Amino acid sequence: MIEVYIDGASAGNPGPSGAGIFIKGHGSAEKYSIPLGIMSNHEAEFHSFLKALEICLEKNYLVVSFRTDSELVNRAIEKEFVKNKQFSPLLIKALTLTKQLNLFFMKWIPSSENKSADELARQAIRKNGLEEEATHE
């Protein structure tokens, strides 16, 4: 099974944002640091999940276990519902992508266990051209 650690971060809320994705499995590790432009921290969390799902599907990783420190994303996927309608299109897209996987799990983990993805997300913010300290949920 492939393990995927995801994190989104933004410097400001909203502000320059980034996605950090750390994938391990089959004896190797992959790291992705993806600038996302200007968005809120919650949006960045959702977009990091979407980018990770897209990467998994592109690479034909169809049995995956995701780890996130975002309670919002974890709860939204678990309940297939978000209170804030702004996130509904992101949730719908995420659920559509998860259905293309053979086996999908998501687990909430504390930030202390998500350091690799967090650092990648912070690097992605800097790729947006801003060196400010990232705020993180």
The 10s digit of each residue's pLDDT in 42-65 is 999 999 999 999 999 999 999 999
User: Dihedral, CA atoms, 42, 119, 75, 86, nearest 10 degrees?
Assistant: 20
59-79 mean pLDDT: 97
Q: How far is CA 87 from the centre of its chain?
A: 14
Per-residue pLDDT tens over the stretch 105-127: 999 999 999 999 999 999 999 99
CATH architecture of the domain covering 2-127: 2-Layer Sandwich (3.30)
Within 10 angstroms of residue 75's Cβ, the number of other Cβ atoms is: 14
Which pairing describes strands 2-10 and 15-25: parallel, antiparallel, or unpaired?
antiparallel
Domain boundaries, the chain: 2-127
Q: What percent of the chain has pLDDT over 70?
A: 93
Q: How far apart are CA 37 and CA 111, in angstroms?
A: 23
Nearest of 76, 71, 68 to residue 95 by alpha carbon? 76
User: Between 110 and 13, whose confidence is greater?
Assistant: 110
First to last CA, the chain: 27
